[in-house]
Amino acid sequence: MSYRKALHTVGWMVSFGMASAIAVASSLPAGYHAVSETLAVSGYVHSQAQIDALKADGVQVVISLLPDGEQTVLDERAAVEKAGLSYVSIPVASAADLTEANVLALDRALAEHADEKVLVHCASGNRVGALLALRANWLHGASAEEAIIIGQEAGMTSLEAPVRKLLR
């Protein structure tokens, strides 16, 4: 969401007395944004309050790409399950983990939860975007350039070069 659009949205919410919506929006994880009606992406989820805000925004499933030990602030699985949400872990530590197995695992998880709002996250969105770009290209027939755009919109940055080498 652009800065101008965000300001417009906040102004609209305030003018209609939607202060609670502002409170939820301000406690969402960094980089949180919807890429479709049922798929959102973000960076780190740092607290139970952020998980509660995700739930209030309609998220029903959290797919974490963080490898064991990367998240040191929160027992994410326990916090997500405490909120009554489903949790899926697909550890992706680096470009070496941009594998067919991980792309297929993400695709299966998204298919299993196709009727639910899903958050896919890593630390910044970079790994999320990389896997979504590869998924679009390898499994859904997107061209290389279409896949790169999908990846960038989801947060891919420094993994773009390795992703380009892997595209078909």
Specify if 87 maps to a domain.
yes
Please count the structural domains in the chain. 1
Specify if 75 maps to a domain.
yes
Specify if 9 maps to a domain.
no
Q: pLDDT tens, 135-148?
A: 999 999 999 999 99
Q: How far apart are CA 44 and CA 61, in angstroms?
A: 15
Q: pLDDT tens, 100-132?
A: 999 999 999 999 999 999 999 999 999 999 999
Residue type, 140: H
Q: How far apart are CA 77 and CA 89, in angstroms?
A: 9
Identify the domain containing residue 51 by its residue range. 28-166
> In the chain, what is the straight-line distance between the N-terminal and C-terminal CA atoms, in Å?
30
Q: How far apart are CA 56 and CA 84, in angstroms?
A: 12
Nearest to 122 by CA among 76, 60, 57, 55: 76
Specify if 8 maps to a domain.
no
Specify if 12 maps to a domain.
no
Specify if 17 maps to a domain.
no
Task: Assign 25 a pLDDT band (cuts: 50, 70, 90).
Answer: low
> Residue 57 in contact with residue 28, Cβ under 8 Å?
yes
Specify if 161 maps to a domain.
yes
CA-to-CA separations, 24 to 16, 81, 127, in angstroms, rounded:
16, 19, 25
Specify if 2 maps to a domain.
no
Q: Which CATH number belongs to the domain containing residue 51 in this structure?
A: 3.90.190.10
